[in-house]
Amino acid sequence: MSSQGIEAQVTALLAGMNAMGGYQLSLVCTDQGLLVASAGELVRSEIAAGLTSLFDEIVGRAGRDLALTQIDELTLSDAGAGRFVIRPLNSGESPRLFLVVQVPRDASWRRNTNLVARKLLAILSHLLPSPSEPEHPR
């Protein structure tokens, strides 16, 4: 499948999750903050993708300072705007991918993001190097 076909498939999946959960936007991005696909406002999606590049730094400090060793998501919460939920899709692999969802105040997200994360990995897994495969062949 072409990269445009994969992007369309991911975007449709994200749009379906947004409709199902009443979410304003959702996106998939890399650990470097590069947007892979999004459903919702593009400018806000690009900003959220950039913010996601701080995930490993925050998790590292939480591990070091608070002894939190099994963090599976970060949530930024605002009383008015709701939440931004940042969930890693794959661990330790490069590039590392994230699902980011803007969740309205008092709305749930865990079940929807679990389901969509599994579907996203199925779609995107063949684009990622396997754990035994070197990142850059020499």
Every domain of the chain and the residues it spans: 3-127
Establish how many alpha carbons lie within 13 A of residue 109's alpha carbon, considering only the half-sphere containing its beta carbon: 27
C-alpha–C-alpha distance, residues 82 and 77, integer Å: 6
CATH top-level class of 3-127:
alpha beta
What percent of the chain stands above pLDDT 70?
Answer: 89
Does the pLDDT of residue 20 top 50, yes or no?
Answer: yes
What is the spatial distance between Cα 45 and Cα 123, in angstroms, rounded to a whole number?
20
Q: Give the mean pLDDT of 98-127.
A: 92
Please state which of the ranges 20-34, 95-109, 116-130 shows the lowest mean pLDDT. 116-130
Question: What is the reported pTM?
Answer: 0.87
Mean pLDDT, range 9-19, rounded to an integer: 96
Place of tokens 């999750």: 17
Arithmetic mean of pLDDT, 92-120: 91
Give the model's pLDDT for residue 137: 47
How deeply is 38 buried, as exposed, middle or buried, from its count of CB atoms within 10 A (0-12, 13-18, 19+)? buried
Helix (H) or strand (E) holding 101: strand 97-103
Q: What is the mean pLDDT of residues 46-69?
A: 91
pLDDT of residue 138 exceeding 80, the answer is no
Model confidence band, residue 61 (pLDDT cutoffs 50, 70, 90):
very high
| 43 close to 57: Cβ distance less than 8 angstroms | no
Q: What's residue 129's pLDDT? A: 63
